[in-house]
Each structure stands twice: as structure tokens, then as C-alpha cells.
Structure 1
Amino acid sequence: MDICATKNKTTGEKENLEKTDPKQNGFRTEENNGVSNNMKSLTKPHAIQKTLDGQTISIMPKVRTTVGHMVDWDRNIIIDQLLKETKLAERFHGKPGMEKEEAQEVAKEVERRIRSLDLKFLSGPLIREIVNIVLLERGHIEWRNISTRVGTPVYDACEIDLGSGFEAKDNANLQENAETSHKKKADKISKEQYLLLLPPKTADLHLNGDLHIHDLEYLGTRAFCQDWDLRYFFYYGLMPDGSGAKASVAGPAMKAEVAILHAVKALGSAQTNFAGGQGFYNFLTFLAPYFEGKSYTDIKQLMQMFVYEMTQMMVARGGQVVFSSVQLSPGVPKLWRDKPAVYKGRVHDGTNDTQKRTYGEFEREVRLSFKALMDVMIEGDNWGKPFNFPKPEISIEPDFMEEDEFFNRAHPDLPGYEELYDMTFELAAKFGTPYFDNQLPEYRGAGEGISCYQCCAYQFSANADADDSFEDKLLFKDGKHFSMGSWQVVSLNCPRAAYRANGDDNALFADLKNLMDECIKLFKTKRSWMESIIENNRMPFATQRPKDPVTGKKGAIAVDIDALVCTIGVVGINEMIQYHVGSQVHESKDAFKFAIRVMTEMEMYAHQLSQKHGLEIALARTPAETTGQRFSVSDLLHDEYRDCALEVVKGDKETALAKLGKAHDLPVYYTNGTHVPPGADISLIDRINIEHVFFPIVDGGNICHIWMGEGAPDAKGLKEFATNIARNTQIGYFAFTKDMTVCLNDFHIMSGLKCSCENCGSEDVEQLSRVTGYVQAVNGWNNAKKQELADRMRYSSSDMI
């Protein structure tokens, strides 16, 4: 009940009853709740006969609502619901709602049909089905799409409860628990809802496999991913619900332990407002003031606390651990050394009774915390397993390629940059955990701005040329800070464009650009939807404005909504080129050159679209945990594309064809982004020489995967090879992946993918590897990714010489 307003009942219901033709036998329900959620579940014994004015008519069955009431039939409820619900057609489809006269006609027709069916029971879904049939017969598809129900058959819901059925292997990070089942059911409803509300052409392009709307289940309610500026929380404190109304509000952290917990809970809370990964840019530098003067032992305990909190909070969407990352530099970057430190609710710039403190004063704390975090991750958990989150993004920056000899002489007890980088490769050799964010290439703009990788390799950046408030953000002036993330990702089925072009270059470019145009329509639709979400305070954590600890007034908004990027992803560039040119990108110079031409055309067009539509459009390699499979299966299902797809698709085609039409989780896939196919039998050097060319072109993010074949790779060799990559290629982001197996019987950890424990012989084992941009148990992967795992070309230390 709304205690802020009192609503009086109108006489409308009574008047409608008095005007109802008794021969139609319309009865008012006990609640005007009828047919929306509302044309609810209804049951009643067979309709009985009644004599009225000498005529025999059937009495309509009563209706049992899902809110727990038995109500009488009343066709006026259909009228009311149609008038109310079809108003959404104007909001979502730009078409007017239904007029009352037509609603009355529809309701009469529905009642007539129900009477003619002589039903033994009547249900809300059945009423709604009949209403929708009448709407379709009258040519009102948009009203039908608004008035229909979304949900799932009982059988499918039971399958979800047992961990199978709908998108069971769609996300390897999801856990086997009841929350996952609940999420999958909600996902199914939400995806149906948004496909019905999208412009029909856009929805069809997704369903038909021309493009893929990522995290469709969250399309209408939240942004995609975000990289946070920790200074925001160290200045304002923590408001987990974004408003302070539902959760307790904490002031700025005054102690290191509280700062760590605020960082943890900020990423956890952000999961409610974003569909993808959450991370911290420049993590250790912003955290360092809280560690001032602490011993290495104390700092290591705090780092251990952070890692365990991030990997033990089963609170993210569907009961999974928080998909998180932290950008790590072994020292304070030059850009930040003279900037005022923000902590304990103050900007320490010498104003507001603060002592002037700069981040450069905390070099000691950054080095020790870097070492501590590496030590914690190298040790692994209590079983000796690797920590898969937060993803450690190791920043290879010009600032740290040479030692600060002056500082090292003054602090001989502290580790130098080289020693700290050595630890990252020790971690890579043991677990393959770290990701290397290479900022040495000129196009990364190191020192002139800020740049980071997020989620599964999406790249975000900010610099003075593109941001008028860049300097203010560096200084945290008036709460201004860096807010980098993505609104939405939509990926293109690039091979299909080649099938349609049939060797015609111009037709191929036109098709790809047309798909990019369709992405713009989707982005604009989402923006319009999200305006309503934000206006109704349904994204409160991202739009929060906490109490300023100095002025007592509302502070700066957490996320710069207008700065969020719209990302267009590419899938299957290799297969597109293979079909169009006749060879794969690694098989001929012509194929390689044409791939560069295509990506350059798309990147230039993305910039044109940005200027034309006032949106920040980024072109990116799609991680494609499921999209590479979905596109390939979709093409195999279409008669017009099947033969084309069979020429280029990767994986087990024979098995896929045998199960085609019976299952969708098939062992076939298109290659991620602009990658060389994972199974290509070429040297690692050749693979890198091909893939590195695309990094400056794909400004929205890319990654180079190096699959290791050795059980115990040499850490020193990995470092030398990585340094060569960083200094001599344009690869901006790369990772060494090591396969492992964990015995769940005696907790023994083994290198490689094993089917049984080498220690106790048990077959109760869990295989681990990097699925796309994160390490996770193989049993949660879909069949395409498992096939790719088997196909991967693995390299030893000798291949890196």
C-alpha cells in the first residue's frame, strides 16, 4: 500500500457491470488484477448450464489467480488489460495503443471462442493465447508482442534445476548451485522479453545468427562492464545499494583493512548494475596510502585478504564469484607521482586542513604490495590451486623498464622493478594466471593518458585530447575521476557476410557495414531504454551521488554514463577470409593482406559512425566463449549457408552434422576475433607476427593467447620471450596459458590435462584451463570450447627462442 497517496475507487467497474449484457454473462472479478500477470493461472470444473430468461447459456469457469484467489470471469478485464498493455507499443515500437472500441470487440470475440470450446477448466495462459490469436488475425503483431507471455515450459524449468537444458554451458564461470538455476530461468524470461520489445528486424538478426547481442538477458536493465577509479570510494566511502536506503552507508575508510573491504564490496555491489566484468585501474597506487609504514608481513596479509574475499564471495549474478580484474604496476607511474593522494575522505592537496601528499611518496608501499600480491598468487589456495580472480593485469610500462637507481640506493631492502616483474613470470610458469598489458607500443599512448584492459580483453582509455576534464580527473577536482566502461557489446557473424558476398569485395564490405549500421540501431534502442531505467533509479550503484565528506552535499556521480563505449565485436575473421580468398590468414600473404584491409575498412567506418551518431563506437575482438559456436551452428542450420560453412568451420564437423537439429551445443566453432585458428600448425613466432598487426586496428580490445605445452615451463625463458614481444611487436595484451588438473580425492595438483590422478589413481579430477579471458574448470565449458581446447597448438620454451 502506498502510504504517500490514497487512491479512491471509481464507479467505473460498477457502471461496466450494469451495462454488461446478461446474455453474455460477464461477471466482475474480486480484483481488477485479471489478465496480465493477470490473465493468471485458472482452473475450474467443466462449465455448467444455466437458464436465464428462457435461454440456456453456459456459465464461464472461475479463474484461479497465481496470487491465490478464485475469481469470476469478466471480459472487461481483457478490455482493461489491452488498453493498459498496448500502450507499451508506443514506447517500444513507436505505434499507438489500442482504442477502447477495438478492445471491446476483441474481448467479445475471446469470450465467444472460450464458450464455444466447452472447456473443463480455464487458465490465464490459455486466455492470453486466445487473445493473441485474435490480435494476430486482426493484423496487430506489435500488440501481440506486447500482450504475450514470457516464460518456460515446466519440463524445461525442471531441466534447468538439474543443471542441463537452457544454456547450461553458456558461461563457464557459473557454479553448480540453486542460484544458477534461478538465474537461468530469469535469463530465459528476460531474453524473450527483450527480443519481443526490440525492433523486429533487430531481433530477427540476432535470432537468425547474423549478429549476436551479448548478455541479452541484461539488455534492458544494465550497462556491460566497468573499470573503476578506487579514489572515488576512498573519498566518499561505500554505499553498496547506491542510495543508502536499503543498506548501511560507510564513511571513507580510515584503516587499511577497511579500505580492502571497501574495494572488495565495491566490485561485488557493481555486479547488480553491470552485465560483465568489474575491475580497478591503477589498483596498487591508489591503495598504497593506506599501507604507509606497514611491514611486508602486514601488507601480505592484506593482499591475501583481498584475493580470498574476491574468490570466495559467491554473490555475483547466479551465485558465481565476482568476475574481477586489477591493473598492477610495480611502482607509481610517472603520470601519478606528483598528483595529490586521495584517501581517508580527503584530497591531500594542502587544502581543507590536509597535508599535501602525492602518490610518489608511496613508492615503497606500491612495491611491497605488488610483491605481496604476487607471493599470495604464486602460493595458491589451501589446496595449491591457482586463484582465477581477480585477474592480475600486469602493466608493462615504459616507466618501469629501467630501474630507479636513486630510489633503489636509498631503499636497498626493497625489490626493484626487474625482481617484481620476475615474480609475474614465475606465476605465469606455475599457473598461467597473469595477463600482460603491454603499454610500450606507441599507439598505446603510455604517459600521455591512461589505458586499461577489462572483462575478457576489452580496452578502455582516456587522454587529454579527447577529454576536456582530463586534468581535473587526475587531480580529483570536485570529485571528477576516471570512469571507463562499455554500454553494450554486439558481435558480427563475419563468415556469413563472406558467404553472401560470394567473392565480391564490394559486396562483402557493404554487408559488414550494413551489419554495423544495425548495431547502431541496437545501441540507440538500448540507450533509450536505459534512460527510463536511470530515471526510475534502477541502476543506483552506477548513478549514485554520495555525501561529500567535506561539503556535506551530494558528490559526483559514480559512472559517467555518457562516456560509456558501444562495442562492435568481430567473430570469424579467419573463416571469412578463408571463404572469400580461398586461404586462411596464416596460409597466404593475399589472405593476410585482405584481412588487414577488411579490418581497416571496418575501423574507419566505426569512426564515421561515432561522428555521425554521437556515440563512442569501438571495434573489438570478441572473446566468443559461446558466440563462435552459436554463429557456426546457426550457419549449419541454414540450408543456404550450410555448404559454405562446412568449407571453413573448425572442429568436429562429422559429430556436429550427426546431431544437427537435435542439439545446439555442438563441437564446431569460428575462430575468435582476428586470431589465427587455435589449431593452426605454425610456429609461435609466425602466429605472433600475424596477430600483432591487428592490435592498433582493433581499438576496442584484443588479446594474443600463447598456449603452453610444458608441465614446468621456464620462468626466465617466459620473461625473455615476453620482453621481446613487448619491445618489438604491437601486441598490447597477451597471456601464457597452462593446462592443469586437480584431483578432488586427494587434492593433488598436476600439470596438463589428466583423466585420472597420478598420485592416487582417482578419476574424480577437475581439468583447468583458460576458456577465453579467464581460467576456469573445463567441465563447465560448452562442446565447442572443449573441442577448441583439444585443437589448440601448444608451444614449449624451445619454441620461444
Structure 2
Amino acid sequence: MDAQKSSDVFDAASSYIRMEILKLLNVKGPLPYTEIMAAVNLDPVRDAGKFVYHLKSLIAAGLISLNEKEKKYNVTELGRMIVNFSRNIEEYIAVKKGKMFVRTSRFSIEEFNREKIVNSLVNEASVPYELAQEIAAEVEERLIKLGTKYLTAPLIREFVNSVLIEKKLEEYRHKLTRLGMPVYDVTQLFNFASEKKLNVNFIKEKAGEAVIKEYVLLNALPREVADAHLSGNIHLNGLTNWILAPNEVRHDIRFFLKKGFNSKPPKNFREALMVLRRVFYSFSREISEEQHFDMFNVFLAPYLVNASREEVKEALYQFLEDFNVLTIFNPPVNRLSLGLEFSIPKFLENVEAVTLNGEIKGVYGDYAQEANLLLDLIIDVALELINHHPLINPLLIFKVRDKDFQDNYSMLLKCHKLAVESSIPYFAFLNDNEAANYSSKGVKLTSSSDFWDVTLNAGNAGTVFINLPRIAYEAKGNDEQFKELLIKTMNLAAEALKVKKTYLNSALNKGLLPLLSKPLGNTFYYVKDNEVYTISFVGLNETAITHVGTGVNADEEALKFVINTLKIMVNEAANLSKKLDLRLLIAQLPSDEASTRLAKLDAEKYGQLTVRIQGSFEKPYYTDGTVLPASLKIPLENRIKIEAKIHNILESSSLPIYFETKRFNNIENLLKLSRNAKDKGVKFMFYTGDYSYCFNCSRIFPGILYKCLKCDTSDLLQIARTENMFTPLTLWAEAKRKDLENRICYALS
């Protein structure tokens, strides 16, 4: 380029308006005459001649070109060079006048450097280097115009995202999203923790969870799946741990009794409990919801040989109390459940028994008397503990087999006494030789008696809830449309679970879950082939009301619709299991978060005239965990009959029976009720009431009280079951807490 040409270029760029036109075309790309004129604030009538002159000057200097066919102007390569040169000059002048500084995410203050934006775009969002330079230059120009001496990293990122959106580079913007919590949300978190009397660990955990949730939705899940969760078509349960940990694990405690755990194998009953306590707390870091010690009294029975009743009872008391004391003041994320047998199951009678010092001695059938004694002592200790405070943890799941109603009647009666006085027991009804176990939420894992242990060393790894009422709202009574939308939603749910499985496998293989993978350094503990992934749902009865016009209890047609819906889900789950190499299970599970979040989103989307909800329109929720709402006035016999029909299709279900604690005292009648429920087809159930615990006098009272009946203090903790577990009312979902008084409680005297 000769001197004359160079002079023409600088002369063309010397006008403020012409430089603005160059910058505009550099950012926006090709634009027509009218858009350029409007962007530089020139009047189409008054300034037409002036504007044409500016365009001709830029074309003559080779800084822009005109596409005659499209009638659009575009910046040339030479024009881009001039824009970049202009920005460099502006940056130099800005620095001379007063440098810009940045408060970074690394908690330091640094001088602004455009190249750091370039590096961030290239490294974090995989933006091509030349495009990154162009974006960074545009951002710098806008920041200079702010006239702010101190910038922040989040502010700069917002400007970068703004430029990316303007350039329609949405994929790059998506990758560049910074995870974190707004200052306001953190402040609210502090206020919430203070109000609910939670400790600082709660604040730290929730702040960290917010980041993980954003990461999962933005980066781990396919966009369609993430959108389905956010919009309310589905709900990913435990989003915080979706890519980090399984929901639950059912331990084979023989593994630790035989090998020990950071210790030698236990040589007596007390040491065995110490090992199991250590297992629970250590594994809590790698499991998000529940750990289960199945056949607890059977596998520990050999450790009662030569031990006195008093010694065993004392060790048990300390074991249960240790778990429970921590729970009352710091409600746990992780719960422990114990699977208890009334006798040695047939499939275990001839299995080699792990005994003191990890030695094999005899078979479990040899220790039937000790297993029965241990069960008896567990009930005794629980009855003693509830005199001082509610037993929130561990959770006691009694597996009642057909023969137990006759062979172990007295023990069953004692167990129901515990139910009357504390609501503690869960009852799982099994056939005599059925190899199965339940979690406290009702997820059943089963196998043939020949391979009974495949229900152990794994569990329910993850759950997605389907918003059934929304499908009904959209189907508008059309059966085919309902089925089509249901299957489509199930595919999204299964895809989310497939993502979870992929991340869990990666975490296990990389050693990010060291205890689940190799707790003792060599043997792989967690058995991937034994895990299941569950698809659950909310609002089954509300769905029937919307689609058929009546609730399940009021019309046979509604019940048929519900049963057909579940059969469709079971069949589709079988198809998806084969297609995705995923062991899928349809389950009817409770979830406060799913039932309240999905109902709230539907109320906002469809309005009061369309939605069918529980609670109020302002604080709505859908029925979860059961078919019939807890507030539905219906005879208990009818409730059991309807819920049993669902249990016959979905064995992973539960039936809570709420009773009036002050009018509930006939233990034999309660046992008859359990037998009746079992005969009708109920698989998993529990009786439950509400309780209040006085911190001042350490007494527990039936019912919801706000003043102690003994010492007159108001320092009380009110607890009731939600999500199948006793939880302080202060931690309940607000919609359910406000509707608690409408729950139907039965007088079972």
C-alpha cells in the first residue's frame, strides 16, 4: 500500500460516524442501508445525503463493500484491521487516563488485559482464536465506555455473554456459563438456616449443591432432558448428587464382619456393631440418601454365642442411641435402615455363617435362637429409647413372611406394640422363601432364592419422577394422546437415568468413590449389575380426575384407567431397559420436592380452573407415594383395598396408615389389620402418628403440641412422617405442612 492509499484509508476512518459504521458491521455482520442508518442515529430524511457520502467514502477506501444482490453492506478485511487498530489506540488512551482493574474470581485485583478474555473463550468455550480476539475487542470497547475504574470478573463475563448472544453464538455462551449463587440467595440461605436452627454445615452444603445442580443441568444432561426437568415435565430426584453418588446402597454386612473395616474382624458383638457404625458413617460420603443393613439380626446372630443378654442389650442400646442423638439436632441427609427377620429364611439356612474373628463356623440355620433373641432385644431397646426421645434413625423394617403369622405370633404382637407406642416399624410382607428387601421409601429388590445375594452391594441408584397430571392436562381426555405423551416422557426420564449411570460408572472406575469401588484396597464392593434405576410419578389420582372425570375411589372406570396407565409404564420400562442397557423399575415413591415443585409449576402454567391439586392454589402439591391423597375421607378398608391393587402391579410401593395416637391401643386388632392388608395384596406398609418432643424434660408426647404437658415449656420439637420418614415439621415442605391438619387419621381402638 503506497502512502497515498494509506492516507485515503486513515482519512476515511477519521470520521466518528464512519468509524461507528465499521464497528457496527464488524460486530453485526452484513446489514442493509436502513439498519445501518438507524444504528448510527442518522435521520432518514435530513441526513440522507450525509449518510450516502459516508458510505461512498468507506467503499472508496476499501473498508466496506456492497453486495448488490442482497443490498447489504459488509466490512472488508482492511476494514477489520482499521477497527482493531482503533481499539488498540482507544485502549492505550484509556490506560493513560486511568487504568482499569479487575476483581477476579481468584480473590485478587489485576490490571485489565484483553488477552485473558481471549484465553477464557478459547479454553472454556472452545471458541476459535480469531473469533475470540474479535469478541474480546468488542467487550473491551464496551467496558471502556462504562468509565468504571474497578471491574469484576462476573461483570466482564456478562458483557462477553451479551456479545455472544448478539452474534448468535449460543453454544459458546452455554459453555461459558459461570456456576454459583447470587449474593441475595446466599443471604437468604443464612436467614433460612437461622430460622430453622440449622448449623453452618447446612449452609456450606447447600451453597455447594447449588453449583452442582447448575453444572448438571447445563453440562451433564442433554438439553431436552434438562429442559424437561426445568419446565416440570419430569423431576430429577436428588439433582445435587446426580453425577456424584447413588441414592442408596444395601450392604452385605458379612463382607465387613469377615474382613473388618479399618480394623481387624470383630471378635464379639460390641465390636461387630462398632464396625458397622464405622461403615455407615464412612460410606455416607458416597451415598446420597439411605444405607440398608439387610438381615441384620440373622448375620449378627453368631456374635451372640456366649454373650449375656445384658451385654447384648447394652451394646444395642448404645448403637441405636448413637445414630439417633445426632439425628434429632442435625437431621440427616443419610439414613440407616435395618432389615429384620422373624426367623432364618429358608434360602439362608444352609449358607456358611461368618462368626467371631471373621471365621466361618456352621451355617446360619444353626443360629436361629440367637437371631430370634436379637430381634427381641432390638424391640425392647426401641421401646426403652422412645421414653426419652423419638427414634428417627435408624429405621426398622420388619420382614413378615407368611409363616410368621402363626409361627412367630407373639413376636409379631410385640412388634405391633412398638407400632402402637412409637410408629417406628415398617412391615414388608414376603413369601416364605422370597429373597427380597425394601428401602424405607418402598423400593423392593428381589431375586430367586438361588441367587439371593444379588439384592445386596447395590440398590436404587437414582429416581426420576414423571408429572402425570401435566400429561393429562395436555391430552385433554384423548387416550391415544395420553399414551403417546406418557411414553415420550418416560424416554426422557430413562435418558436422564442413563446419564446418571454413565457418570457413576466413571466415578467408580476413576476411584472417585473409593469405598464403593474398593473399600479394602483390592476387592470391588459395589456390584453395578445389581443396581436399579427407578421411574416414579406424582399425582396419579389427580391424573384420573383430569382424564376420566372422577377419582380412583369414586368410579371403577377411573381405577381401570390408573391400572392401565401403570401397565403401560411397566411395559415401556421393560423396552427401555433392553434398549439402554439399564435395569429400570417402575415404583410409586414419595418425594416432597417433586410433588410440590411440579404442582407449583402446573398451577402457574395452566391456572386454577385446570389444575387438580392438593393443598391450596398458592401452596399446592400432588399426591405422592400413594394413589389416594392422605386428606381423602374414605373408610380405611376401602383405602387398603385400592392401594393393594396398585401394590399388585408395582411391588415397589408403600401404604402409610395415619392413626389417632390418643385413641389407639388394641394391639391384637392392629395385627389383624396388618394380616388383612397383607391378604389383600399390600406389600409394604407402616402405621404412623405425630409426636412432640420436649427438650427441657426429655419426654415425648403423642400429637402435635406447642407447650409441654409436663413442664409447660414451649421448647418442643414436632415430628411427623413425610417421605415415609419422621422429620421435624420445620423441615417439611411448606405446602404439606400447611395441609397437615386435613390429613385423615383413623381411630383403630
TM-score above 0.5, yes or no: yes
What is the aligned partner in structure 2 of residue 713 from structure 1?
A: 665
What is the aligned partner in structure 2 of residue 143 from structure 1?
A: 172
Counterpart AA for 2:421: K
What is the aligned partner in structure 1 of residue 215 from structure 2?
A: 193
How do 1:355-374 residues align onto structure 2 when only pairs under 5 Å count? 356-374=361-379
CA distance in 1, matches of 2:258, 2:668: 41
Q: 1:152 to 1:789 in 2, by over 3 A?
A: same
Q: 1:683 to 1:698 in 2, by over 3 A?
A: same
CA distance in 2, matches of 1:781, 1:182: 20
How do 1:616-631 residues align onto structure 2 when only pairs under 5 Å count? 616-631=583-598
Q: Secondary structure at the match of 2:671?
A: helix
Q: 1:255 to 1:23 in 2, by over 3 A?
A: farther
1:74 to 88, 109, 113: 113
How do 1:28-43 residues align onto structure 2 when only pairs under 5 Å count? none
CA distance in 2, matches of 1:366, 1:321: 30
Native 8 Å contact 2:389 2:699 kept in 1? no
How do 1:79-94 residues align onto structure 2 when only pairs under 5 Å count? 79-86=118-125
* Displacement after TM superposition at 1:755 (Å): 3.3
Cα RMSD of the aligned pairs, angstroms, is 2.6
Q: Deviations over 1:340-389 (max 9, x none)?
A: 012456462xxxxxxx41111212221111111101111125x6222111
- Range that drifts further, 517-526 or 528-537: 528-537
Work out whether 1:739 is the aligned partner of 2:687.
no
What is the aligned partner in structure 1 of residue 655 from structure 2?
A: 704
Structure number with higher helix proportion:
2
What is the aligned partner in structure 2 of residue 7 from structure 1?
A: none
1:511 to 485, 488, 491: 485
Q: Deviations over 1:140-198 (max 9, x none)?
A: 32322221212112222122112269xx99xxxxx711111111111222212211112
Q: 1:336 to 1:65 in 2, by over 3 A?
A: same
* Displacement after TM superposition at 1:481 (Å): 8.4
* Displacement after TM superposition at 1:49 (Å): 9.2
Q: 1:131 to 1:742 in 2, by over 3 A?
A: same
Q: 1:107 to 1:530 in 2, by over 3 A?
A: farther
Work out whether 1:650 is the aligned partner of 2:614.
yes
Counterpart AA for 2:437: C
Q: Secondary structure at the match of 2:658?
A: strand
CA distance in 1, matches of 2:106, 2:464: 38
Counterpart AA for 1:391: L
Work out whether 1:126 is the aligned partner of 2:155.
yes
What is the aligned partner in structure 1 of residue 230 from structure 2?
A: 207
* Displacement after TM superposition at 1:205 (Å): 1.1
Native 8 Å contact 2:266 2:358 kept in 1? no
How do 1:37-56 residues align onto structure 2 when only pairs under 5 Å count? none
CA distance in 1, matches of 2:569, 2:305: 48
Q: Secondary structure at the match of 1:585?
A: coil
Native 8 Å contact 1:378 1:427 kept in 2? yes
Native 8 Å contact 1:234 1:342 kept in 2? yes
Q: Deviations over 1:286-344 (max 9, x none)?
A: 1122221211111111211221122234699x873741100111222221111101245
CA distance in 2, matches of 1:379, 1:789: 29
What is the aligned partner in structure 2 of residue 614 from structure 1?
A: 581
* Displacement after TM superposition at 1:271 (Å): 1.7
CA distance in 2, matches of 1:481, 1:682: 36
Native 8 Å contact 2:426 2:686 kept in 1? yes
CA distance in 2, matches of 1:598, 1:481: 28
Q: 1:305 to 1:488 in 2, by over 3 A?
A: same
Q: Deviations over 1:107-134 (max 9, x none)?
A: 2222222222221211111111112222
CA distance in 1, matches of 2:97, 2:140: 11
CA distance in 2, matches of 1:531, 1:709: 47
Counterpart AA for 1:437: A
Native 8 Å contact 1:315 1:321 kept in 2? no
Native 8 Å contact 2:586 2:650 kept in 1? yes
Identity of aligned residues (%): 26
* Displacement after TM superposition at 1:398 (Å): 3.1
CA distance in 1, matches of 2:493, 2:237: 12
* Displacement after TM superposition at 1:60 (Å): 4.0
* Displacement after TM superposition at 1:59 (Å): 5.0
CA distance in 1, matches of 2:701, 2:334: 26
CA distance in 2, matches of 1:280, 1:290: 16
Q: Deviations over 1:725-772 (max 9, x none)?
A: 22x121110000022222334444322222333334433332221112
Q: 1:531 to 1:363 in 2, by over 3 A?
A: closer
Native 8 Å contact 1:710 1:795 kept in 2? no
What is the aligned partner in structure 1 of residue 397 from structure 2?
A: 393
TM-score (norm 2): 0.84
* Displacement after TM superposition at 1:66 (Å): 4.5
* Displacement after TM superposition at 1:226 (Å): 1.3
Work out whether 1:427 is the aligned partner of 2:418.
yes
Work out whether 1:327 is the aligned partner of 2:318.
no
1:462 to 438, 447, 451: 447
CA distance in 1, matches of 2:624, 2:338: 24
Work out whether 1:218 is the aligned partner of 2:241.
yes
What is the aligned partner in structure 2 of residue 585 from structure 1?
A: 552
Q: Secondary structure at the match of 1:725?
A: helix
What is the aligned partner in structure 1 of residue 265 from structure 2?
A: 252
CA distance in 1, matches of 2:244, 2:577: 23
CA distance in 2, matches of 1:428, 1:124: 58
How do 1:91-106 residues align onto structure 2 when only pairs under 5 Å count? 97-106=126-135
CA distance in 1, matches of 2:512, 2:653: 32
* Displacement after TM superposition at 1:531 (Å): 3.7
Native 8 Å contact 1:374 1:424 kept in 2? yes
Q: 1:347 to 1:134 in 2, by over 3 A?
A: farther
What is the aligned partner in structure 2 of residue 11 from structure 1?
A: none
CA distance in 1, matches of 2:498, 2:271: 40
2:278 to 241, 246, 265: 265
Work out whether 1:339 is the aligned partner of 2:290.
no
Native 8 Å contact 2:647 2:653 kept in 1? yes
1:300 to 291, 305, 313: 313
What is the aligned partner in structure 1 of residue 428 from structure 2?
A: 437
Query: Which structure is higher in RCO with an 8 Å CA cutoff and minimum separation 6?
Result: 1
What is the aligned partner in structure 2 of residue 39 from structure 1?
A: none
Native 8 Å contact 2:656 2:724 kept in 1? no
What is the aligned partner in structure 1 of residue 16 from structure 2?
A: none
Q: Secondary structure at the match of 1:621?
A: coil
TM-score (norm 1): 0.79
Q: Secondary structure at the match of 1:162?
A: helix
Native 8 Å contact 1:573 1:673 kept in 2? no
Q: How many residues align?
A: 664
What is the aligned partner in structure 1 of residue 200 from structure 2?
A: 178
CA distance in 2, matches of 1:513, 1:347: 52
Native 8 Å contact 1:223 1:275 kept in 2? yes
CA distance in 2, matches of 1:676, 1:71: 61
- Range that drifts further, 731-740 or 139-148: 139-148
What is the aligned partner in structure 2 of residue 117 from structure 1?
A: 146
Counterpart AA for 2:371: V
- Range that drifts further, 745-754 or 611-620: 745-754
CA distance in 1, matches of 2:88, 2:264: 63
Gaps of 5+ in 2: 1-83
